[in-house]
Amino acid sequence: EDKVVQSPLSLVVHEGDTVTLNCSYEVTNFRSLLWYKQEKKAPTFLFMLTSSGIEKKSGRLSSILDKKELFSILNITATQTGDSAIYLCAVGPNTGNQFYFGTGTSLTVIP
């Protein structure tokens, strides 16, 4: 059965901390892994990962994929209160119709 598991389910950190969010998957014919940020509205796109070992970076956020061990991590350095959100991971198969979503990691950054 195809599935995506995110950990931890929730996380509370102080401003300035660095956090690592995890996404592991078991999806037949893997094609891509997507990270989204959701703040009480529609998920907004962060990264798409298709190749192992190539880091994607945007400001304080970065992500990398390990296709051998079937997981991805999302790192956020120097966290800010604006980083508080649910972070969703989704995995797409090569020719499938469905992306498989994890349940998300709820991140709270306190001042």
Residues in contact with another protein by CB under 8 A are 29-32, 34, 36, 41-45, 48, 50, 88, 90, 92-99, 101-104
Rounded to the nearest whole angstrom, what is the least distance from the CB of residue 24 to another protein in the complex? 14
Sequence-ordered list of residues with C-beta below 8 angstroms from that of 105, at least 6 positions apart, any chain:
6, 7, 8, 9, 10, 11, 21, 22, 86, 87
Q: How far apart are CA 91 and CA 83, in angstroms?
A: 22
Rounded to the nearest whole angstrom, what is the least distance from the CB of residue 101 to another protein in the complex? 4
Nearer Cβ to another protein, position 37 or 64?
37
Please check whether residue 105 is in contact with residue 86, taking contact to mean a CB–CB distance below 8 angstroms.
yes
Rounded to the nearest whole angstrom, what is the least distance from the CB of residue 44 to another protein in the complex? 8
Q: Quick one: which of 104, 100, 83 has its CA closest to 91?
A: 100
Rounded to the nearest whole angstrom, what is the least distance from the CB of residue 94 to another protein in the complex? 5
Nearer Cβ to another protein, position 52 or 94?
94
Q: How far apart are CA 38 and CA 85, in angstroms?
A: 6
Nearer Cβ to another protein, position 39 or 66?
39
